[in-house]
Structure 1
Amino acid sequence: MLDSDLAQEIIAGLKDGSVVPYIGPGALADVTNKADNSPMPADSDSLILAMNNGQPMAPRLMYEFPRAAMNLELKKGRSYVERFLTETYGTKQWTRAAFHDWLASIQPKYVIDINRDTQLQESYSAIAHTLIVGCARLSGTDYRFKIYHYDGSSYKAVDQEAADPSLPILFKPMGTPLPEPSYIAADADYVDYITELMGGFAIPSFLKEYRTDKKYLFIGMAMTRDTERMVLSDIVYSAGSPTGWAVMPAPTDKERRFCNNKKIEVIEASWQELLAASQSEATPA
């Protein structure tokens, strides 16, 4: 159950920038294809099935999406996986997620979104912002990110020195199809990305400074897989104490242990309850 006072504390933090949303696949659970009403593949299992023409793969590959993506990359090439993600998130028409509509009404200063869709970017499409996109297996550079300035109508690639940290910052570590497709997907991508993330080369210097002492609100996250937990741990490095809150309706023992270790308070509730609390606050008595 979500305590109303805690809900108001979190919402106030999202508005003033002291709390950073960290968005996982569960935030897209209500999104469907406008053409056939099919759900958007966002979590690991649904992505694997969609990538493999609706057919399950071997149990060891069904364990998590990066493993399955690596298997298909070895068979069909890296372009096959990248094309699948671009066609899934960049060309199909999807309904809006209720969570993203709510987040758009707040427009936090800094948002982390580990999904690969474009709804977060659409929420900020009317205002200038800075977009950071995760990259992997690049040659000629140690950095594992690309930075774009959005001027209210289009994106332009910029370097760290030219980026404007005073604008809202959208961090898409696992990639996005826009403005150009780039993804962290297969095991080899994650190995490379996490290695450079741990070394400090996957986050721009201005963001390292900005994130100091921030707290985080984890929404739609399943903290059961080591890959995502390693990414999370390094992205929220330098967090405040406690680290923040994870909204989970039914946390597992493994998730509880991880959150306890990372000083993340588990809130046994749904993100819909947080939205309801926010709307209740906005409604005059």
Structure 2
Amino acid sequence: MFKDIITGLQNGSVIPYLGAHALVGSTNKLTGEPIPADSNSLILAMNNGQPMAPKLMYEFPRAAMNQELKKGRSYVNKFLTKLYGETQWTPAPLHTWLASLNLPYLIDTNRDTHLQDAYASRPHTLVVGTARLGGTDYRFHLYHFDGAEGSSYKETTLEAVDTSLPVLFKPLGTPRPAANFIASDADYVDYITELMGGFGMPAYLKQYRRNKQYLLLGLPLNRDTERMILSDIIYDAAKPAGWAVIPDANDKEIRFCKKLGFEVINAEVKDLLAEIGIDAPSIRKPLSVAV
């Protein structure tokens, strides 16, 4: 099932697009707990392991908006920075394998640093989504990493960016090199609006993405936020657009994928990794929450 897709990944014609369950297998180095990444586990982690009201449990951006209104935007940013920037996690098997392929372009809608860590020994460009900025039309930051030992990210400009380097695109943010996150409803409204207007990603990536195929990995598509961001980031995709690896996809997900031109594969990340001899746990097991 996956052989042709893997070949496409290896030759750069298929672009990986990672969602929450792409992090399966990553655990807290101290406690062994899985990294919170999906909406439900993020809400629980943000609320000290306790469920919030049912209407807030519906989706992380809604819960984050509630906390922002009560405690300020900095509260949510500090939570995500501590979770992904200060807590030590084991590498996710999928990220390690993808990094070994030296891919030209990867899209990661999680907020962790796993891909950045995996690319820490090679030059690359980091594109980080931002929201609610003043003084600029753009909703992204560009960083250059030269791959030298001990080097750090340096912010760059559209005019100075080296377009020949591999690109890690983190549309929902990362704690490094500077903490920027798309988290609350207000963040999403601003970012998606500017993404639709063409200001959410660099022009050279919009050129590069034309007629490309995508492999959606670990990405549930049962919420509007994921669907809207996906639709805009892959605009001008090939026809068919690629494959969506979704275990037990519901009717809504299947209809959406058909509309965009994705073939739904009833599988999960561990099935893809098993094809190349890498073990990973199943997401069908209940996910516990890191505290």
- Would the TM-score normalized by the shorter structure come out above 0.5? yes
Equivalent position of 1:142 in the other structure: 137
Equivalent position of 1:108 in the other structure: 103
Does structure 1 conserve the Cα–Cα contact (< 8 Å) formed by 2:21 and 2:269?
Answer: no
Which runs of structure 2 are paired with 1:267-282 in the superposition (5 Å)? 267-279=265-277
Equivalent position of 1:283 in the other structure: none
Does structure 2 conserve the Cα–Cα contact (< 8 Å) formed by 1:135 and 1:184?
Answer: yes
Runs of 5+ consecutive residues of structure 1 not aligned to the other structure: 281-285
Q: Give the aligned residue type for 1:135.
A: T
Equivalent position of 2:245 in the other structure: 247
Look up the SS of the partner of 1:36 in the other structure: coil
Does structure 2 conserve the Cα–Cα contact (< 8 Å) formed by 1:11 and 1:278?
Answer: no
Partners of 2:67 and 2:164 lie apart in 1 by 41
Which runs of structure 2 are paired with 1:76-95 in the superposition (5 Å)? 76-95=71-90
Q: Give the aligned residue type for 2:190.
A: D
Q: Give the aligned residue type for 1:130.
A: T
- Report deviation, 1:276: 2.4
- Report deviation, 1:158: 0.5
| 1:134-160 C-alpha deviation (Å, 9 max, x unpaired) | 000000111000000001121100011
* Residue from 50, 59, 63 that aligns with 1:55: 50
Stretch deviating more after TM superposition (18-27 or 265-274) = 265-274
Q: Give the aligned residue type for 1:171.
A: F
Does structure 1 conserve the Cα–Cα contact (< 8 Å) formed by 2:28 and 2:88?
Answer: yes
Runs of 5+ consecutive residues of structure 2 not aligned to the other structure: 279-291
Equivalent position of 1:173 in the other structure: 171
Task: Please say if 1:19 is aligned against 2:17.
Answer: no
Partners of 1:33 and 1:279 lie apart in 2 by 24
Higher helix share: 1
Equivalent position of 2:93 in the other structure: 98
- Report deviation, 1:273: 2.0
Task: Please say if 1:32 is aligned against 2:30.
Answer: no
- Report deviation, 1:103: 1.1
Equivalent position of 1:218 in the other structure: 216
Stretch deviating more after TM superposition (151-160 or 82-91) = 151-160
What is the TM-score when the length of structure 1 is the normalising length?
Answer: 0.95
* Residue from 3, 8, 18 that aligns with 2:3: 8
Does structure 2 conserve the Cα–Cα contact (< 8 Å) formed by 1:198 and 1:234?
Answer: yes
Does structure 2 conserve the Cα–Cα contact (< 8 Å) formed by 1:133 and 1:172?
Answer: yes
| 1:100-158 C-alpha deviation (Å, 9 max, x unpaired) | 12112212110000000000111111100000000000001110000000011211000
| 1:155-209 C-alpha deviation (Å, 9 max, x unpaired) | 1000111111110000000000011100000000000000000000011111111
Q: Give the aligned residue type for 2:194.
A: E
Stretch deviating more after TM superposition (78-87 or 266-275) = 266-275
* Alignment length (residue pairs): 275
| 1:29-57 C-alpha deviation (Å, 9 max, x unpaired) | 22111111122110000000100111111
- Report deviation, 1:62: 0.5
Look up the SS of the partner of 2:142 in the other structure: strand
Partners of 2:187 and 2:146 lie apart in 1 by 30
Does structure 1 conserve the Cα–Cα contact (< 8 Å) formed by 2:245 and 2:264?
Answer: yes
Partners of 1:50 and 1:261 lie apart in 2 by 34
| 1:50-94 C-alpha deviation (Å, 9 max, x unpaired) | 001111111111000000000000000000000000000000110
Partners of 1:69 and 1:275 lie apart in 2 by 33
Stretch deviating more after TM superposition (175-184 or 31-40) = 31-40
| 1:221-270 C-alpha deviation (Å, 9 max, x unpaired) | 10000011000000000100101101112111111011011110001122
Q: Give the aligned residue type for 1:127.
A: R
Task: Please say if 1:154 is aligned against 2:152.
Answer: yes
Partners of 1:277 and 1:232 lie apart in 2 by 26
The percent identity for this pair of structures is: 62
Let me know the Cα RMSD of the aligned residues: 1.0
Partners of 1:107 and 1:265 lie apart in 2 by 25
